Amino acid sequence: MITQYHFQTTGTGRPKFDYNSGLTPQNRLKWLSTALVVAGGCGLSLAAFLYARAGSGDCAARLARCGLFWCEQEAFAECVDRSRTETVAAALRRNPGSGFLWADMADAYAKSGSREQAWKCYERAMELAPAVPAVLMRAATFQFVYGEPRNALPYTKAVLSLVRGYDGAVFSSYDRMGLTTSDVLKEGLPATKEAAQAYLSHLISTRNVEGAIQAWSWARHNSVDDDKLAASYVEFLLAEGRGREAIKTWGAQLGDRRGGYGVSTWIYNGDFEREFSGSALDWRSYPIDHVRVQRAAGEGRNGSSSLRIAFDGKANVDYRHTSQRTWLAPGPHRLVAWVRSEGVTTDQGLILRVADAEAPARFSVATEPILGTRPWSRIELPFTVPPDTRQLIVQFARRPSKKFDNKIRGTVWIDDVAIVSAR
C-alpha cells in the first residue's frame, strides 16, 4: 500500500507516529478500514462502514456478509488488495511521472490477478525510469513469476550493465528458472569485463564446468577477457582436473608473451622478466618473516632479471612460499634452472622441489640444498610424473635444520627455470 508516514518529535524527544499526515480523508478511511480487517473480530462491522464511507462499496458489502465475528480469509485479501490498488491509483493521479509508483501499481494489479494490466504498468514504469535497476528488476521478476523466463532477460541484462549489486540475485534467478548458459550468454549478459567476471565467478562457485567453458569462450569472442579473468578460470580448470586445458587456455591468453610456454617448457615466466600475474600458472610468492623475495632487475644470469631470495639469519625458517603450478603428461621430464648463491649458512639451504600439488606424499622430488657461495651454475632434476598426478607444483623451499646452529643467512639468485620433456 502506498501510504505516507511521518514522524514528529514530542516534547520529551520521543518520536510520535503520525499516520494522518499526507493522506486525503478518503484514504485515511481506507487505511483504517484495512487495519480493522486485519484485526478481525467486531472490528469488521466498523470496517464495513468505513469502506462504504471511503467509496469502496463492494468491500463494505462483502464484509457485512461475513458476520460479526468471522470472515473468510479470501474476503480479507480481496478487500485489502482492492484498497491497495485504489491507494496507489490515487498516488499516481497526484504524481503520474513516478516510475516507482507505476511499478507499485503493476504489483497491485499482479496480486489481484490482472496480469495484462500489470505488465502495461511495468512498461510505463520502465519508460519513465529506463535506467533505474530497482524498477527493471521488478519487471524482470514479474516475467520470471508470471510470464516466460526468457522474456525477463532484456531487463536483467540492463540491470547487469548498470550496477554490480544485483549480480547474485540475477544469476540465482537464471539457475532457478532453468535458463541455460547459452540463453544467458545470448540474451542475458552485457558484453563487459565486469559482467563476464561476475558470471564466470558464479559458474565457478556452482562448479558448472561446461557452463564455465562456454562463458570463457564467449568472453574471448567478445574481447572482454583479461589476465585476471583467465587466472580465475585456469585455477578452476586445475581444481577440476583439467590441467591440459588449463595450460592451453593460459598459453592462448598470453599470446606473444608466452615464449615457449606449453610447447618447449611447462614453466611460465621462468626468466622472471615479467611481473607476477597472480595466476596459479605463474609464480606466486607469499610474505614470511625473515625472508625477502623479489624480482631483481639487472641481476640475472645475462644481466637481465632474476629472482632473489634473501634470509636474514634470525630464524630457522621453514620456507615454501614461492611456487608455480603446472600440468605434465605422465612420464619422464627434467627441471632445469640456473642458480648462484652468496654466504648461505646452515646445512639446509634453498632447494627446488617438484611435487604432486594435491598429494605431495604421493610424489615429491627435490634438488640438493644450495649452500655457501657459488657462481652461476646450471642444475638439473630428472623426475617421472606418475599416471594419477593431475597437477604439479614447482617450489623454492627450505627445510628447517635440526642442527644447533640453524638460523639461516644468505642470498640465492634463480634464473631461466624450465621443465622439459626427457623423452
Other Cβ atoms closer than 10 A to 116: 7
- Which residue, of 218, 238, 256, is where some domain finishes? 256
184 and 50 belong to one structural domain: yes
Whether residue 345 has pLDDT greater than 60: yes
Residue 275 lies in a domain: no
Please report, for the domain that includes residue 100, its CATH number.
1.25.40.10
pLDDT for 167: 97
pLDDT for 88: 82
Whether residue 199 has pLDDT greater than 70: yes
Residue 271 lies in a domain: no
Alpha carbon 169 to its chain centroid, in Å, reads 12
Q: How many domains does the chain have?
A: 2
245 and 295 belong to one structural domain: no
Is residue 44 within a helix (H) or strand (E), and if so which, with residue range? helix 43-54
- Which residue, of 237, 256, 275, is where some domain finishes? 256
307 and 399 belong to one structural domain: yes
128 and 211 belong to one structural domain: yes
Amino acid letter at 339?
A: V
Cell output for 127: 519508460
186 and 329 belong to one structural domain: no
Helix (H, G, I), strand (E, B) or coil at 123: helix
Residue 171 lies in a domain: yes
Mean pLDDT value across the chain: 85
Residue 264 lies in a domain: no
**Per-residue pLDDT band at 104 (split at 50, 70, 90):** very high
83 and 232 belong to one structural domain: yes
238 and 346 belong to one structural domain: no
More confident residue, 74 or 272: 272
145 and 26 belong to one structural domain: yes
Residue 358 lies in a domain: yes
Residue 143 lies in a domain: yes
pLDDT for 80: 53
Domain extent at residue 293? 284-421
Place of cell 500500500: 1
Question: Strand 351-356 relative to strand 331-344: parallel, antiparallel, unpaired?
Answer: unpaired
293 and 213 belong to one structural domain: no
Cell output for 330: 605422465
290 and 192 belong to one structural domain: no
Cell output for 266: 611447462
pLDDT in tens, 149-175: 999 999 999 999 999 999 999 999 999
Residue 15 lies in a domain: yes
pLDDT in tens, 246-268: 999 999 999 999 989 999 999 99
pLDDT for 243: 95
Residues 6+ apart with CB under 8 A from 337: 270, 352, 378, 379, 414, 415, 416, 417, 418
- Among 92, 184, 107, CA closest to 139: 107
Please report, for the domain that includes residue 322, its CATH number.
2.60.120.260
- Among 370, 393, 130, CA closest to 284: 393
pLDDT in tens, 311-344: 999 999 999 999 999 999 999 999 999 999 999 9
Whether residue 96 has pLDDT greater than 50: yes
pLDDT in tens, 37-94: 444 444 444 444 444 444 555 555 554 444 433 444 454 455 555 667 788 888 889 9
Helix (H, G, I), strand (E, B) or coil at 352: strand
Cell output for 27: 484514504
More confident residue, 305 or 91: 305
pTM of the model: 0.75
Q: What is the DSSP string of 345-413?
A: -SS--BEEEEEESS-TTTSEEEPPPB-EEEEEEEEEEEEEE-TT---EEEEEEEPPP-SSS---EEEEE
237 and 340 belong to one structural domain: no
Give the C-alpha separation, 396 to 211, whole Å: 36
Whether residue 278 has pLDDT greater than 60: yes
Yes or no: say if 392 and 354 are a contact pair by the CB < 8 Å rule.
Answer: yes
291 and 217 belong to one structural domain: no
CA dihedral 214, 216, 217, 221 (to 10 degrees): 130
pLDDT for 79: 59
pLDDT in tens, 109-140: 998 889 999 999 999 999 999 999 999 999 99
**Per-residue pLDDT band at 423 (split at 50, 70, 90):** confident
Residue 265 lies in a domain: no
pLDDT in tens, 374-398: 999 999 999 999 999 999 999 999 9
